[in-house]
Structure 1
Amino acid sequence: MVSLIRIRMRTVLAGLALVAAAVLVPVAPAKAQVVALVNGEPITALDVAHRTRLLTLMNQGRSPDRKSVLEELIDERLKLREAKKFGAVPSDSEVDSAFGNIASRANMSTAQFGQMLSAQGSNERSFKDRLRAEIAWGGLVRARYKVIAQVGDNDVAAALSARKQEVPQRITEYTLRTVVFVVPRGASDATYDARRREAEALRGRFQSCDDGFAIARGMKEVVVRNSVRKASADLTPALRELLNSTPDGKLTPPERTAAGVEVVAVCSRREVAGQTAVMNEVRQELVSERLQSQAKRYMAELRRAALIEYR
């Protein structure tokens, strides 16, 4: 598991393929009337409209209700206010760098990514505001609750005992990276077939993870996701068989998914002690759970102390 900020950032990264392929639909402008005040700082109807469209793109076209969007914006203001108190607000360069990394993973320049957000009824500012708040909040939570979130061996052993999980002596740990040939929602089977042929062509040219991703990024509407590690014990037998039959540095056969057509690069694998791997995984899960729990309490404290006025 990753830290709280990385977990939250996954939410942002998970919608990139769909963001890159979204159909450009004109959105009626919202009025800029103030809909809430947070310690005197306004949130406007336009802020809500921009954030709603952004979250809709990130959630595969599912539009959130207005109340949840407004509450997210209120929490965002409180996070940044708290970060400012401790001098922990991320700099513009740090936010710009994070924004650039996300755009790059969507196979776009930062200018193209910003233009696409605007065309979809959101904007670059709303996206960066969200990034800035999440980066700041993750740092605050980790710093404030570092000691509380520590997990000892006894805690891990107790969690394993409660799960009654059988631990293999040895497991294989794979380093994987997914390449998505983006297909817009509602596209025809012929479009999927064309993208599948492109994926097969990439498989033929893909000789290693060192060089293959550069080829993939040069293709039209292709997204290369972050690398992940997967333990064989966590995979289905069919997926284990597929990965075991794919040599290191090669791609799995194309598969149709909600985002389009995907292939998975098997970059490396290693044998590790089953007990050690499972204990590390459980430890990370427990740390993440504790941080999330404390983060909720922290936000509840900030809300109780804040002056929030709905209009």
Structure 2
Amino acid sequence: MRLRLVPVLFCLALILPAPFSAPAHAAIRVIVNDVPITDYDISQRARLITLTQRKSASAAKKQAKEELIDDQVKLGEAERMGVDISQSEVDNAYANIARNVKMSPGQLNKALRSGGVKPETLKARLKAQLAWSRIVRSRFSGNIDVNESDIIAALKKTDEEDRKKSVEYDLKRIIVVVPKSSSGGFKSKRKRESNQIRSAFNDCENPGAVLGKYSEVVVQPIGRRLETELPANMRDEISALQPGKLTKPSTTPVGFEMIAVCGKREIASDIAVRTELENELRAKEGENRSRRYLMEIRRRATIIYR
């Protein structure tokens, strides 16, 4: 689940009308399972769509109405299945969006309001998305198979050279331990030490030459991993490193963690591209099932247009 805020957000904010308050008696346009959707709801969602997707006003309004109906259907299904999304989960998702566009949550609030959109409008959309994501994972997780014939067909469409090789890494985990009860000052000190270790480290065979200068630093072997087995959020960083180098320190429950690339080699195998294609096909099938599921529960819902 991701929402893309395009770079024109601020430009649009300048040309759109100033923010406005909801009318005291907004007209109800749709009722979904006894939940009303008003003109104001549709207007707010349409403005959000205009800001984030570069849609025309008429297209945004049409999309907004359908999205709001879908959201209420999803939230109704979430309630039926006992799925509850807390306010903190919504706030965290909102903060992640702000981070992705290099803003603080407060700055994102201001940018949205400048375009006539209340932050609660985006948060309402996020709540429905989070609930639906949890429902879909619960219903379909581990139950999506991909036909071998589909994988082979997809392989035939890839570059022949990509099918012949995969990259294998030999990895170790370097942990700069920080006790949970540590002060902020101690944590800052350990982060500085982590960066110092990263700058000086260049040899997996003799790590003690660098690590021995620091207290409570743990080395754990990870072993050999294919590129497709690497965590998605670290794959690019690890692939860009030369053997003997470390990833940037990341915060974990036990301290600051870095991954050392101790070896890197190409092997004759199509496993990397095969796994990537299989994951893509599985994701596509998951989207298809999610779409069919939504259509099914939407048909069961009581939707009244006014």
Q: Which residue of 2 aligns with 1:300?
A: 295
Q: Which residue of 1 aligns with 2:181?
A: none
Query: Does 2:12 match 1:19?
Result: no
Q: Which residue of 1 aligns with 2:219?
A: none
Q: Which residue of 2 aligns with 1:290?
A: 285
Correspondences of 1:1-311 after superposition (within 5 Å): 5=1, 9=2, 12=3, 14-19=4-9, 22-24=12-14, 25-27=16-18, 29=20, 31=23, 32-60=26-54, 62-63=56-57, 64-151=59-146, 155-161=150-156, 163=157, 165-168=159-162, 169-170=164-165, 273=267, 275-311=270-306
**What's the offset of the Cα at 1:27?**
4.1
CA RMSD of aligned residues (A): 3.5
Give structure 2 stretches of 5+ with no counterpart.
169-197, 200-231, 247-260
Seen in structure 2, the aligned counterparts of structure 1 residues 99 and 62 have a Cα distance that, compared at 3 Å, is same
Asked which structure has the greater CA Rg, the reply is 2
Identify which range, 284-293 or 15-24, moves more after superposition: 15-24
- Give the SS at the match of 2:8: helix
Q: How many residues align?
A: 219
Seen in structure 2, the aligned counterparts of structure 1 residues 272 and 99 have a Cα distance that, compared at 3 Å, is farther
**What's the offset of the Cα at 1:118?**
1.6
Kept in 2, the 8 Å contact 1:156–1:279? The answer is yes
Give the percent of matched residue pairs that are identical in Structure 1 and Structure 2.
33
- 2: CA distance between counterparts of 1:309 and 1:228? 48
Seen in structure 2, the aligned counterparts of structure 1 residues 112 and 277 have a Cα distance that, compared at 3 Å, is same
Q: Which residue of 1 aligns with 2:210?
A: none
Seen in structure 2, the aligned counterparts of structure 1 residues 124 and 23 have a Cα distance that, compared at 3 Å, is closer
- Give the SS at the match of 2:278: helix
Q: Which residue of 2 aligns with 1:179?
A: none
One-letter code of the match for 1:60? R
- 2: CA distance between counterparts of 1:61 and 1:80? 26
Kept in 1, the 8 Å contact 2:113–2:119? The answer is yes
Kept in 2, the 8 Å contact 1:141–1:295? The answer is yes
**What's the offset of the Cα at 1:20?**
5.3
1:98-123 CA distance string (max 9 Å, x none): 11121123222212211221221111
Q: Which residue of 2 aligns with 1:263?
A: none
- 1: CA distance between counterparts of 2:66 and 2:265? 46
**What's the offset of the Cα at 1:147?**
4.3
Q: Which residue of 2 aligns with 1:238?
A: none
- Give the SS at the match of 1:17: coil
- 2: CA distance between counterparts of 1:133 and 1:271? 44
**What's the offset of the Cα at 1:285?**
1.1
Seen in structure 2, the aligned counterparts of structure 1 residues 57 and 271 have a Cα distance that, compared at 3 Å, is farther
